């Protein structure tokens, strides 16, 4: 095998999932979505760390019946201490109903191929990714002011709220070991609650839609969308079906994010990968577990006047927690640079 997946596997099992001796470890895999070599390497690595590993395979879940989760898969989610998930057809909205207070370590793994597991994205130290996300969590303290601008015309501002985000409850559960859901390679920082949001979001991408004939302009007042322009009628319909409030927003924190397909070929899958990059910030429209995501590219984000993203690039590398994590991981400076992505 030409590609070396060792660094990615170690990062996934030891740094992200932190598998320990005696834990029950399940690897659930949808038929046809993961390379056998990746599943085998995860199995061997988890067993080397003392985990009792069970591999569960299952069929894809029909789009028209998303609630039909195979019993063996659902059982694995219920009994594992640590779970590696290769199940793109199993949506978190459906899973949330079964495990609203999820406490296990669940690792949705996007590096399902040898090529992805051998990439810099998979090798980017998870400890540094967490330090970046944790630092942004601290900087986004309730009451602080934020502003987001983008080259395409976004200019929106607000303050951080103290209430817990509805979206965050579906994404993450906090426990002593950190997030129950630890996306790999990841990642994004925690959704930050948006309060008193005012201005304009010019969306370069709307998740779950097959294309962007033109940007969608969302005008916001008192935290809510008050008008829509551009895009197509189906996007307007989806956005108007929500309560219109900006629940929260967050941006990518893994600068080595790569996307294994072109945006034009599969916009839905493209977004599921690309939003992990600092190049993208996305807003959750609708206070529910299934909001409509609207994304902007190459954004600049300011918190109380301090720039934390500058035209899609992180600027917090000198924060003590981030710097210490990078030094401990012996991370090369080259890992701080964004991997270029095709955004058109």
79-120 pLDDT per residue, tens: 899 999 999 888 877 777 777 666 778 899 999 999 999 999
**Greatest mean pLDDT range, 154-168, 260-274, 327-341:** 327-341
Q: Which two tokens stand for residue 153?
A: 């015309």
Question: What is the per-residue pLDDT for 263?
Answer: 86
Q: Range with the lowest mean pLDDT among 96-105, 125-134, 331-340?
A: 96-105
> Nearest to residue 166, comparing CAs of 224, 247, 100?
247
Question: What is the per-residue pLDDT for 142?
Answer: 92
| CATH topology assigned to domain 6-123 | Rossmann fold (3.40.50)
**Structure confidence at residue 164 as a pLDDT band (50, 70, 90):** low
Quick check: 48 pLDDT over 70? yes
Sign of the CA dihedral 110, 112, 115, 119? positive
Contact 126/18 with Cβ under 8 angstroms? no
- CA gyration radius, the chain: 19
Question: What is the per-residue pLDDT for 166?
Answer: 55
Question: What is the per-residue pLDDT for 316?
Answer: 98
Please enumerate in sequence order all residues whose Cβ is within 8 A of that of 87, keeping only pairs 6 or more positions apart, or say none.
28, 29, 30, 33, 58, 61, 73, 108
Contact 55/30 with Cβ under 8 angstroms? no
Contact 217/230 with Cβ under 8 angstroms? yes
Percent of the chain with pLDDT over 70: 92
Question: What is the per-residue pLDDT for 95?
Answer: 75
Mean pLDDT of 29-33: 95
pLDDT digits 0-9 by tens, 52-70: 999 999 999 888 887 888 8
Q: Which two tokens stand for residue 194?
A: 């948006």
Question: What is the per-residue pLDDT for 176?
Answer: 34
Question: What is the per-residue pLDDT for 212?
Answer: 76
Output the CA–CA distances (angstroms, integers) from residue 203 to 159, 299, 331, in the order listed. 20, 11, 34
Mean pLDDT of 45-56: 97
Q: Where are the domains of the chain?
A: 6-123, 126-163+187-336
Question: What is the per-residue pLDDT for 138?
Answer: 92
Mean pLDDT of 25-38: 96
Q: Which two tokens stand for residue 119?
A: 């990439």
How far apart (Å, rounded) are the C-alpha atoms in residues 344 and 341?
A: 9
Question: What is the per-residue pLDDT for 112?
Answer: 95
Q: How far apart are the first and last CA of the chain?
A: 33
Q: Tell me the pLDDT of the chain averaged across its residues.
A: 89
pTM: 0.87
**CA count, 13 A, side-chain hemisphere, 107:** 27
pLDDT digits 0-9 by tens, 279-304: 999 999 998 777 899 999 999 999 99
Question: What is the per-residue pLDDT for 2?
Answer: 55
Question: What is the per-residue pLDDT for 90?
Answer: 85
pLDDT digits 0-9 by tens, 172-214: 444 434 446 788 998 888 888 888 899 999 999 998 887 777 8
């Amino acid at each position: 095998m030409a590609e070396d997946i060792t660094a990615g596997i170690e990062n996934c099992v030891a740094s992200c999932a932190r598998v320990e001796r005696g834990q029950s470890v399940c690897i659930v895999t949808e038929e046809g979505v993961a390379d056998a070599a990746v599943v085998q390497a995860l199995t061997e690595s988890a067993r080397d760390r003392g985990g009792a590993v069970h591999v569960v395979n299952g069929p894809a879940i029909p789009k028209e019946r998303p609630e039909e989760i195979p019993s063996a898969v659902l059982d694995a989610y219920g009994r594992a201490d640590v779970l590696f998930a290769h199940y793109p057809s199993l949506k978190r909205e459906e899973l949330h109903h079964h495990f609203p207070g999820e406490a296990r370590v669940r690792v949705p793994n996007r590096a399902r191929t040898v090529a992805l597991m051998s990439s810099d994205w998979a090798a980017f130290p998870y400890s540094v990714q967490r330090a970046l996300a944790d630092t942004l969590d601290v900087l986004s303290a309730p009451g602080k002011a934020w502003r987001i601008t983008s080259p395409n015309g976004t200019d929106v501002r607000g303050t951080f709220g103290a209430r817990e985000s509805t979206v965050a409850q579906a994404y993450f559960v906090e426990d002593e070991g950190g997030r129950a859901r630890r996306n790999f390679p990841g990642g994004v920082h925690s959704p930050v609650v948006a309060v008193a949001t005012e201005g304009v979001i010019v969306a370069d991408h709307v998740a779950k839609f097959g294309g962007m004939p033109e940007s969608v302009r969302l005008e916001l007042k008192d935290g809510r969308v008050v008008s829509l322009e551009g895009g197509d009628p189906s996007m307007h319909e989806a956005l108007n079906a929500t309560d219109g409030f900006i629940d929260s927003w967050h941006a990518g924190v893994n600068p080595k994010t790569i996307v294994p397909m072109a945006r034009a070929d599969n916009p839905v899958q493209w977004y599921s990968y690309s939003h992990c990059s600092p190049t993208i910030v996305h807003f959750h429209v609708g206070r529910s577990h299934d909001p409509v995501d609207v994304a902007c590219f190459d954004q600049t984000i300011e918190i109380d006047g301090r720039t934390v993203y500058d035209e899609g690039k992180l600027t917090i590398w000198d924060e003590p927690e981030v710097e210490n994590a990078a030094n401990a991981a012996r991370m090369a400076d080259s890992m701080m640079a964004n991997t270029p992505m095709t955004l058109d």
